[in-house]
Structure 1
Amino acid sequence: MNTRSRWLMIAVGLGILLNPLNSSMISVAIARLQHVYRLDFTVVSWIIFSFYIASAIAQPVMGKASDLFGPRKIFLTGLVVSFVSSLLAPLSPNFGWLIVSRIVQSIGTSMLVAVGMAIVRIHITEKRATALSILSIFLSGAAAIGPFAGGVLIQWWDWQAIFIVNIPFVVASFLLAWRMIPKGEPAGSVVQGMSIRKWWDVIDGSGILLFTVGLVALLVGLLSAKSSGHVSWWHIIVGLIGLGTLGAFVRHELKTMSPFIPLRTFAKYPAMTWVNVQFMLVNLLFYALFFGLPSYLQMVRHVSELHTGILMLTLGLSSLIASPLAGKWIDKSGPRPALVTSAILMTLGSVWLVTLDPASPVISVTFALAAFGISNGLNAVGMQAALFKSSPKEMTGVASGLFNTSRYLGTILSSLLTGIIMGGTFSFAGFRLLGIFLTVIAVALVFMNLRLRDSEPLKESNVSKVS
Structure 2
Amino acid sequence: MTEAKTGVIRGTDKPGFDRRLLPPMMLGSVLNPINSTIISVALVPIGAALGAPAAQTAWLVSALYLATSLGQPVVGRLIDLYGPRRLFLLSTALVGVAGVVGTLAPNLAVLIVARVLLGFGTCAGYPAAMALVRSEAERTGRDSPGGVLTGLAVANQTVAVVGPLLGGVLIAVGGWRATFALNVPLAVAAVLLGLLRLPRSTGTSRPTPRGRLTTQLDLPGMALFAAMLVALLLFLMNLHLRSWYLLAIAVAAGGAFAARELRAATPFIDLRVLGGNRPLLATYGRALVAYVVAYAFLYGFSQWTEEGFGLTPFHAGLVQIPMFLVAIGVSVVSGRRPGVRGKLLVGAVGQIVACLVMLTLSGRSPLWTLLLVALLFGVPQGLNNLALQNSVYFQADPARTASSAGLLRTFAYLGSMVASSATAASFGRRVDTGGMHHLAWVMLGAGVLYLLLTVFDRTLGRATTPAAQ
Shorter-chain TM-score tier: 0.7 to 0.9
Output the CA distance in 2 between the equivalents of 1:187 and 1:279: 27
What does residue 74 of structure 1 align with? Answer: 87
Identify if the C-alpha distance between structure 1 residues 239 and 322 changes in structure 2 by more than 3 Å, giving closer, same or farther. Answer: same
Task: Verify: 1:217 aligned to 2:217, yes or no.
Answer: no
Q: Secondary structure at the match of 2:335?
A: helix
Task: Verify: 1:309 aligned to 2:317, yes or no.
Answer: yes
Task: Verify: 1:52 aligned to 2:68, yes or no.
Answer: no
Q: Secondary structure at the match of 1:143?
A: helix
What does residue 15 of structure 2 align with? Answer: none
Q: Secondary structure at the match of 1:360?
A: coil
What residue identity is the alignment partner of 1:369?
Answer: A
What does residue 167 of structure 2 align with? Answer: 150
What does residue 179 of structure 1 align with? Answer: 196
What does residue 104 of structure 2 align with? Answer: 91
After superposition, where does 1:128-277 map in structure 2 within 5 Å?
Answer: 129=145, 130=147, 133-184=150-201, 190-191=207-208, 193-195=209-211, 198-224=212-238, 232=242, 235-277=243-285
Output the CA distance in 2 between the equivalents of 1:220 and 1:392: 31
Output the CA distance in 2 between the equivalents of 1:437 and 1:317: 26
Identify if the C-alpha distance between structure 1 residues 402 and 117 changes in structure 2 by more than 3 Å, giving closer, same or farther. Answer: closer
| 8 Å CA contact retained: 1:311, 1:363 | no
Structure 1 window deviating more from structure 2 (145-154 vs 413-422): it is 413-422
| 8 Å CA contact retained: 2:82, 2:201 | no
Unmatched segments (≥5 aa) in structure 2: 7-17, 464-469
Output the CA distance in 1 between the equivalents of 2:213 and 2:226: 19
Output the CA distance in 1 between the equivalents of 2:122 and 2:396: 31
What does residue 341 of structure 1 align with? Answer: 346
Q: Paired residue for 2:127, among 114, 122, 144?
A: 114
Output the CA distance in 2 between the equivalents of 1:452 and 1:132: 23
Structure 1 window deviating more from structure 2 (216-225 vs 121-130): it is 121-130
What does residue 19 of structure 1 align with? Answer: 32
Cα drift, residue 185 of structure 1: 10
What residue identity is the alignment partner of 1:92?
Answer: A
| 8 Å CA contact retained: 2:354, 2:377 | yes
Higher percent of residues as helix: 1
Output the CA distance in 1 between the equivalents of 2:270 and 2:136: 30
What does residue 377 of structure 2 align with? Answer: 372
Task: Verify: 1:442 aligned to 2:447, yes or no.
Answer: yes
Query: TM-score normalised to the size of structure 2?
Result: 0.83
Task: Give a deviation string over 1:281-317, Cα, whole Å, max 9, x none.
Answer: 1111111111111111112112101001111222222
What does residue 461 of structure 1 align with? Answer: none
Output the CA distance in 1 between the equivalents of 2:269 and 2:74: 11
Equivalenced residue count is: 445
Q: Percent identity?
A: 26
Task: Give a deviation string over 1:232-274, Cα, whole Å, max 9, x none.
Answer: 4xx3444433443333333333333333333344542334433
What does residue 13 of structure 2 align with? Answer: none
Task: Give a deviation string over 1:164-215, Cα, whole Å, max 9, x none.
Answer: 1222222233334333445459999843x222xx423322322222222233
Q: Secondary structure at the match of 1:96?
A: helix
After superposition, where does 1:281-360 map in structure 2 within 5 Å?
Answer: 281-329=289-337, 331=338, 334-360=339-365
What residue identity is the alignment partner of 1:78?
Answer: S
Task: Give a deviation string over 1:392-450, Cα, whole Å, max 9, x none.
Answer: 87787375454333222222222122223333333321111111222233233334433
Structure 1 window deviating more from structure 2 (113-122 vs 151-160): it is 113-122
How big is the alpha-carbon RMSD for the aligned residues of Structure 1 and Structure 2? Answer: 3.2
What residue identity is the alignment partner of 2:312?
Answer: S
After superposition, where does 1:375-414 map in structure 2 within 5 Å?
Answer: 375-384=380-389, 391=395, 397=401, 400-414=405-419
Output the CA distance in 2 between the equivalents of 1:283 and 1:248: 27
Q: Secondary structure at the match of 1:357?
A: coil
Identify if the C-alpha distance between structure 1 residues 87 and 413 changes in structure 2 by more than 3 Å, giving closer, same or farther. Answer: same
Structure 1 window deviating more from structure 2 (33-42 vs 68-77): it is 68-77
What does residue 102 of structure 1 align with? Answer: 115
Identify if the C-alpha distance between structure 1 residues 309 and 63 changes in structure 2 by more than 3 Å, giving closer, same or farther. Answer: same
Task: Give a deviation string over 1:329-387, Cα, whole Å, max 9, x none.
Answer: 5x3xx443433322222111111111112211233122222222101222234445656
Query: TM-score normalised to the size of structure 1?
Result: 0.84
Output the CA distance in 2 between the equivalents of 1:188 and 1:395: 10
Q: Secondary structure at the match of 2:210?
A: coil
Task: Give a deviation string over 1:123-170, Cα, whole Å, max 9, x none.
Answer: 797895355554444333222211111111012211111111222222
Unmatched segments (≥5 aa) in structure 1: 459-467
What does residue 2 of structure 1 align with? Answer: 4
| 8 Å CA contact retained: 2:33, 2:160 | yes
Identify if the C-alpha distance between structure 1 residues 406 and 220 changes in structure 2 by more than 3 Å, giving closer, same or farther. Answer: closer
Cα drift, residue 89 of structure 1: 1.1
What residue identity is the alignment partner of 2:295?
Answer: Y
